[in-house]
Every structure is written in structure tokens, then in C-alpha cells.
């Protein structure tokens, strides 16, 4: 990875179009996870930073190309991220949670991923009530670390992607059964509707949701409710987790 700080207002990187830069002049090699103001123990200054990664994807057999798709996953960025692939915007995110973007516009061979991360706050953000010296907002109950604070990786998708899974247990009493509601957000990456089966493996039991059609380039929420008769509950000292 490479990094460039950008602590002016307005940010220089946007006006100079760093996301289109061909060479590495001004960039410094770093490792991600990374944050640029860990040594700022005095000012807690909000600013922006730019990240750049040159990468080549593994080769896909010719017969698999039409059903192969790629996403990039960011495990955490503070706090606003905007992402370019080969000089074109592919999306962004604001917040502390992981997010994913489709890698639209991939080239054969080397590709360039550029991410602008800003720790600048607005009057709609948390901690806005305590004015910061740099841009008017942004100090509060925690230090405003800026950067790609968690891992970044690319994942391969074969036509259908499980974008998210929500699992909600209902336990009425300790020692009693647990009713489990599952919602799986299934996305069809292709241009044709596809029929899918969803398989859940829970505590040695195989649960199948069969024959659900997902529209072309669309998302369908598949749901299932089941019961665990004798659930193992999480508690301090015995932090039980079901895979």
C-alpha cells in the first residue's frame, strides 16, 4: 500500500486528482491497517489521507469468466471513505462498520485502487457539540483516529453472493428452547434470474431453504425460523458462540 497525507481545506488531492495519478511521486509505502495521526497526542487534528494499492487478480478460466465477479471489502475506515478503481469512482461509505463495493471496471493485469479517507466531521456527526480548532467540528469522547483501521481484501463471487446474514435468537427463559430467526440477503450478480437453495448448518443440523428465485441483478431476502431445544447460552467465563 501507499499513502499521501492531505491536511488542507479544501483537500488538495481532489483538485489535483490523485486518484488518476500515474506515478508514485508524493506517496509513501505503508502497511494496512494504518492510521496517520497516531502520534498526534496534542491537537487531535481532523484531516484526510489517501491510500493506493496496485494489485493483480488471480487468473480465472475462460469458461468461468461470465459467472465470476469480484468485490473489495473494507473491514473499517474512519470515518468517510471514497473509492476509485482505475481512476473511476466505484462508491463510498461513512461510518465505522465494514463495507463492500463491486469492483466494476477491472482490467486485465494490473489495477489501481485509490481510497480517500476523511476524519473531518460535520454538524450532523457525533461529537459535533465540541468545536475543533481545524474545521469547527470533531472533538468528543474519543480520539479521532483517521485511516484504514482494519484489513482490506478482495473476494471472488460465483454468480450468487450472500451479502449479509442476520440471526436473531429469542430465549424466553434460561434452560428453555431458543427460537432462531435467520434473514439472508442474497444477491444475484448476473443478468438472468436464478433459482437458489440456501443451506444453514447449525449445531450439527442441516437446514435447507429450497428453490427460491432471485431476480436478475437483484437482491432477495431468504428467511428461516427454527428451534434449538437446549441452547448453549453465552455468559462471562463461558463465551459460547455457534458457528
Query: What is the distance between the alpha carbons of residues 198 and 196, in angstroms, rounded to a whole number?
Result: 7
**Does residue 221 have a pLDDT over 70?**
yes
End-to-end distance of the chain based on CA atoms, in angstroms?
Answer: 33
**pLDDT value of residue 243:** 86
**Does residue 200 have a pLDDT over 90?**
yes
Q: What integer is the mean pLDDT of 210-224?
A: 93
- Report whether 160 contacts 175 (CB < 8 A): no
pLDDT in tens, 32-66: 999 998 887 777 777 899 999 999 999 999 999 99
Helix or strand (DSSP H, E) at 227: strand 219-228
pLDDT in tens, 151-176: 999 999 999 999 999 999 999 999 99
Q: What integer is the mean pLDDT of 79-103?
A: 95
Q: What integer is the mean pLDDT of 210-226?
A: 94
**pLDDT value of residue 46:** 79
By three-state DSSP, how is residue 80 classified? strand
**pLDDT value of residue 3:** 98
Exposure b/e, 60-90, CB count within 10 A at least 16 = b: eeeeeeeeebbbbebebbbbbbbbbbbeeeb
Percent of the chain with pLDDT over 70: 91
- Report whether 76 contacts 152 (CB < 8 A): no
Comparing CA positions, the residue from 194, 191, 235, 189 lying closest to residue 212 is 194
Comparing CA positions, the residue from 113, 109, 164, 89 lying closest to residue 1 is 113
**Does residue 242 have a pLDDT over 80?**
yes
Query: What is the distance between the alpha carbons of residues 79 and 148, in angstroms, rounded to a whole number?
Result: 9
Comparing CA positions, the residue from 141, 220, 156 lying closest to residue 188 is 220
**pLDDT value of residue 42:** 74
**pLDDT value of residue 144:** 75
pLDDT in tens, 13-38: 999 999 999 999 999 999 999 999 88
* Cell 481510497 found at: 115
**pLDDT value of residue 8:** 81
**pLDDT value of residue 139:** 55
Give the residue, 136 or 187, on which the prediction is more confident.
Answer: 187
Task: Please give the mean pLDDT across all residues of the chain.
Answer: 90
Look up the pTM and report it: 0.86
DSSP for residue 108:
S
Strand order in the sheet with 48-56: 28-29, 2-6, 48-56, 110-118, 80-85, 88-94
Q: Per mean pLDDT, which range of 20-24, 41-45, 93-97, 132-136 is the poorest?
A: 132-136
Amino acid at each position: 500500500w501507499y499513502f499521501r497525507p492531505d491536511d488542507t481545506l479544501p483537500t488538495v488531492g481532489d483538485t489535483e486528482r490523485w486518484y488518476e495519478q500515474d506515478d508514485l511521486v508524493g506517496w509513501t509505502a505503508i502497511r494496512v491497517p494504518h492510521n496517520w495521526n497516531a502520534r498526534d497526542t496534542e491537537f487531535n487534528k481532523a484531516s484526510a489521507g489517501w491510500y493506493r494499492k496496485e494489485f493483480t487478480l488471480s487468473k480465472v478460466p475462460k469458461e468461468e469468466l461470465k459467472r465470476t465477479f469480484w468485490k473489495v471489502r473494507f473491514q473499517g475506515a474512519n470515518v468517510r471513505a471514497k473509492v476509485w478503481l482505475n481512476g473511476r469512482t466505484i462508491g463510498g461509505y461513512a461510518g465505522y462498520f465494514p463495507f463492500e463495493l463491486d469492483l466494476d471496471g477491472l482490467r486485465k493485469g494490473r489495477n489501481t485502487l485509490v481510497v480517500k479517507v476523511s476524519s473531518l466531521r460535520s454538524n450532523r456527526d457525533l461529537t459535533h457539540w465540541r468545536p475543533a480548532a481545524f474545521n469547527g467540528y470533531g472533538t468528543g469522547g474519543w480520539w479521532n483516529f483517521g485511516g484504514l483501521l482494519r484489513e482490506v481484501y478482495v473476494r471472488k463471487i460465483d454468480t450468487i453472493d450472500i451479502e449479509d446474514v442476520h440471526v436473531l435468537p429469542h430465549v424466553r427463559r434460561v434452560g428453555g428452547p431458543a427460537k432462531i430467526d435467520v434473514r439472508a440477503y442474497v444477491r444475484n450478480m448476473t443478468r438472468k434470474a436464478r433459482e437458489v437453495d440456501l443451506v444453514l448448518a447449525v449445531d450439527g443440523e442441516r437446514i435447507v431453504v429450497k428453490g427460491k428465485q432471485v431476480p436478475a441483478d437483484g437482491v432477495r431476502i431468504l428467511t428461516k425460523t427454527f428451534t434449538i431445544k437446549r441452547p448453549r447460552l453465552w455468559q462471562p467465563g463461558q463465551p459460547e458462540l455457534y458457528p
